[in-house]
Chain A
Amino acid sequence: MTTPGGLLLALAVLVPFIGVLVGLVLGGRNAQRVAFLTMAIGFGVAVAVADHFLRSGAPVVYLLGGWAPPLGVALRADALAVVMLLVVAVVIFGIGVYACADFGTPSGAREARAPFAYWLLLMAVWGSLNLVFVSGDLFTLYVALELLTFAGVPLVSLEGRGETLRAALRYLLFALLGSVLYLLGAVLLYGAYGTLDIALLAAHIRPDPATLAAAALMTTGLLAKTALFPLHIWLPPAHAGAPAAASAVLSALVVKGSWFLVVRLWFDVMPGVITLSAAQLLAGMGAAAIVFGSIVAVRQERLKLLVAYSTLAQIGYLFLMFPLAFDAGGTALVHGGALTGGLLQAISHATAKAGMFMAAGLIYAALGHDRIADLAGVARAMPVTVLTFAVAGVALMGVVPSGAYLAKKLLLYAADDSGQWWWTIVLQGGAVFTAGYVVLVLANALRGAGVPITLVVRVSRRSEFAALALAVCSLLLALAALGPVPGDLVSNPLAPAELGSTLLTFAGGALLALGLARRSLLAPARADADAGPVRRGMVAVGTAIANADVLVRRWPSASVAMLAVTALFGWLLAAGAMSN
């Protein structure tokens, strides 16, 4: 049944795509105007959906053409979808304001290719994401996912340079490999159940071989699109090579689309089929991503690559919630505190990472380079931007008071409740790794330069504050404690225990940065060979991990890893099904 306000769901998807078409027809600088008009309308639609959802307390449903599933297709907005609709609307607006400086059509020109493409693609990404959030069936989700990839790939190569085109092609081909696995899984499910509607499937799902194979194939396909370690072949070059306004979209939003689909698949389609061991594997890949991504990030010479590798690590965080979300018996995934924590983590990452990429882009534009070791003096020349980077970094670390802090608390409680102490270690230790690259950048940026540095171009004030606003949003998510999250979690952030853990995080991060940085923070001129044994040892480890990353990101190893992960998931699921 279509509920009141159901038509709004269709509008949430249609409005951005109408924006794409109108912008395409009007052309030139009108594309930008249309984009901002669309953002205003789209935000209104998202708020209206949230309003209907809160008033009725039940999912908003729209049946396309009045045909009920299994013959027809339903759009559904549950709590997860409503939250994501709102967040994406806000982040898209922030990125849009930032992008005005980079992607305004130059005065005098009637139309410039990159700005024109950028505004259309921004709307296309938004529409595809909204479709991912509200789709009620697995095939529509497949189409939405493909649309998202098709909109994301050209964003990578907006500048048209050879290396960015290569990064775009790698991204597209690997994503296609992932999506074909997802589609194969969906086809197997249709063959077994005769429907792809999420609600109908959830009612009938049983752990037979076809379902288990489908679960393994779909999960792995989605992980390849999310770039979870070791399937991150495409992410670093694509996110680091794109212009900052596009990287922010790709890193903050596009990877969340396929992550959200994993959540849908595991929590809503087959909560009872997924086994705890499979969830442990998924979170284990996440933990590996945190360690691996953070260490490689600290070893980077260029700021944008550092931020790209930090995305890799943050994607790992998003998967830690899965083993913590099982019910008491460990038999089925349930909506609860762990899922809320995971969602909060995704939101705070979306806002903070967008702000961080924008700050990196502004520094690159102003200095004409983004070599981390040569950032001295930047803090004096661009205080707002460096503050943005610091705020975003603190928000990602999950120290008080930020959304990620609340998320971490929720996950820690879930880990305690289910007795999975090893995830407590990962959750607490992960923050140290995050602190490592944040401290590295800030230490370099805050160092005074001998002579005041001259900026190549003056960056737009509006862009600086748009980035800062998004980063601050991530901190303000701690206010969720007033509403959806139990308030007693934020008992007293200044209590000795909390303060101590914050200080420990920073100290650990500083040690990591000191040991692993490309150019020693204390003695920049000294060669690594003259350094002490600890520093030499850490550099050797860092170099080895960076070399391993190059190896993992080769096409043959990445695609074989994808098949191996599929097989591993299939095996774990089948073992769980047999023991029951």
Chain B
Amino acid sequence: MSGGTLFGLCAALLVGVGLYGMVANAHPLRKILAFNIVGSGVFLMLGAIARRGAAAGLGGDPVPQALLITGIVVAFSATALAVAVLLRLFDVTGSVTLSADVPAKPDADAAEAPAKPPQSPGLG
């Protein structure tokens, strides 16, 4: 088995594990982590494609490597935004549940109004 195939299979495995995590975990933070695992799988795949497409004298095809870096930046920003919203949700409601139809705390709305935590500037 060539290195490219091995890395490709590892990437597929990571994507599968991550997708399972995103579907099966109820906790938003675990979903965010699972998203990062899927992302790692995709980036590994890009790396394998870069290696496979290497021209003579080069370690790898530079275009996928550039895409890889950009993709990591995007995934990083997505993670940061998600964690920021999650923290704010915890600040405001005291819980991090995602199911909108069943409020986690029956008095969440009542507790919300008087004790509003300070506005954090980083969320906008």
Q: A186-194, A269-277, A352-360: which one contacts chain B?
A: A186-194
- Bits for B71-109, please: 1 = Cβ < 8 Å to A, else 0: 100100110011001101100110001111100000011
- The answer to whether the Cβ of B28 comes within 8 Å of any Cβ in the partner chain is yes
Tell me if B23 and A150 are in contact (CB < 8 A): no
- B63 part of interface (Cβ distance < 8 Å): yes
For A153-165 the 0/1 string (1 means CB < 8 A from B) is: 1100100111101
Q: A166-B98, A180-B35, A190-B64 are in contact. Are A153 and B85 (CB under 8 A)?
A: yes
Contact B98–A162 (Cβ < 8 Å): no
The yes or no answer to A455 lying at the interface (CB within 8 A) is no
Q: Which of B23, B26, B101 has the most CB of A within 10 A?
A: B23
Bitwise interface map of A from 479 to 505 toward B, beta carbon under 8 Å scored 1, else 0: 000000000000000000000000000
Rounded to whole angstroms, the CA-CA distance of A70 and B31 in the bound complex is 35
Contact A116 B22 (CB under 8 A): no
Check if B88 sits within 8 Å of A160, measured CB to CB.
Answer: yes
Roughly how many angstroms separate A221 CA and B32 CA in the complex, as a whole number?
A: 17
**In the complex, A555 has a CB within 8 A of chain B:** yes
Q: How far is the CA of A179 from the CA of B35 in the complex (A)?
A: 10
Q: Is B10 an interface residue (CB 8 A)?
A: no
Q: Please tell me if A407 contacts chain B, counting CB pairs below 8 Å.
A: no
Encode B16-58 as 1/0 by CB contact (under 8 A) with A.
Answer: 0001001110101001100100110010011001001100000
- The listed residue with most B CB atoms (<10 A of its CB), out of A166, A173, A184, A556, is A166
Contact of A187 among B45, B74, B121 (CB under 8 A): B45
| A185: min CB distance to chain B, Å | 10
Q: Are A176 and B82 in contact (CB under 8 A)?
A: yes
Q: Is the interface of A mostly helix, strand, loop or mixed?
A: helix
CB distance from A117 to the nearest CB of B (A): 4
User: Chain B's nearest CB lies how many Å from the CB of A253?
Assistant: 19
Q: Mark A246-273, 1 if CB is under 8 A from B, else 0.
A: 0000000000000000000000000000
Are the C-beta atoms of B45 and A563 separated by less than 8 Å? no
Q: Are B81 and A150 touching (Cβ within 8 A)? A: yes
Q: Which residues of A contact B61 (CB under 8 A)?
A: 194
Query: Is A143 a contact of B70 with CB atoms below 8 Å?
Result: yes
CB nearest to B82 among chain A residues: A172
Decide: B24 and A169 in contact? CB cutoff 8 A.
no
Asked if A162 and B112 make an inter-chain contact with CB atoms under 8 angstroms apart, the answer reads yes
Report A-chain residues with C-beta under 8 Å of the C-beta of B88: 157, 160, 165
A-B contact count (CB 8 A): 121
A462 at the interface (CB under 8 A from B): no
Asked whether, in the complex, the Cβ of A146 is within 8 Å of the Cβ of B124, the reply is no
- List residues of chain A with CB within 8 A of the CB of B42: 180, 183-184, 187
The answer to whether A563 and B124 touch (CB under 8 A), given A160-B119, A169-B86, is no
| Cα–Cα distance between A527 and B27 once the two chains are bound (Å) | 41
Q: Which residues of A contact B46 (CB under 8 A)?
A: 187, 190
Q: How far is the CB of B25 from chain A (nearest CB, A)?
A: 9
Which residues of A lie under 8 Å from residue B38 when comparing CB positions? Answer: 180, 184
Number of interface residues of A (CB under 8 A): 48
Structural contact, A172 and B81, CB atoms closer than 8 A: yes
Closest chain A residue to B22, Cβ basis: A177
Contact A166–B22 (Cβ < 8 Å): no
Distance, CA A154 to CA B92, complexed state (A):
15
Cβ-closest chain B residue relative to A160: B92
Chain A residues within an 8 Å CB radius of B13: none
A157-B85, A166-B98, A191-B49 known; A176 and B78 CB under 8 Å?
yes
B102–chain A nearest beta-carbon distance, Å: 10
With both chains docked as a complex, state the minimum distance between the C-beta of A500 and any C-beta of chain B, in angstroms. Answer: 43
Min distance, Cβ A111 to any Cβ of chain B, angstroms: 11
8 Å CB contact of A162 from B24, B93, B121? B93
Given A168-B85, A187-B45, does the pair A139, B112 have CB atoms closer than 8 Å?
no
Are A71 and B112 in touch, CB under 8 angstroms? no
User: How far does the Cβ of A461 sit from chain B's closest Cβ, in whole Å?
Assistant: 29
Does any Cβ of B come within 8 Å of A559's Cβ?
A: yes
Which of these, A154, A188, A190, A237, contacts B67 with CB under 8 Å?
A: A190
Since A142-B74, A187-B49, A190-B63 are in contact, a sample of 13 more A-B pairs with Cβ atoms closer than 8 Å, ordered by chain A residue number, is A150-B81, A153-B85, A162-B109, A163-B100, A166-B100, A173-B31, A177-B35, A180-B38, A180-B39, A190-B49, A191-B49, A550-B101, A563-B23
Chain A interface residues toward B at CB < 8 A:
70-71, 113, 116-117, 120-121, 139, 142-143, 146, 149-150, 153-154, 157, 160-163, 165-170, 172-173, 176-177, 179-180, 183-184, 187-188, 190-191, 194, 196, 237, 550, 554-556, 559-560, 563
Q: List 19 A-B contacts (CB under 8 A).
A: A113-B124, A139-B67, A143-B70, A149-B78, A153-B85, A154-B123, A160-B92, A162-B89, A162-B108, A163-B100, A169-B89, A180-B35, A180-B38, A180-B39, A184-B42, A187-B49, A190-B46, A191-B52, A194-B61
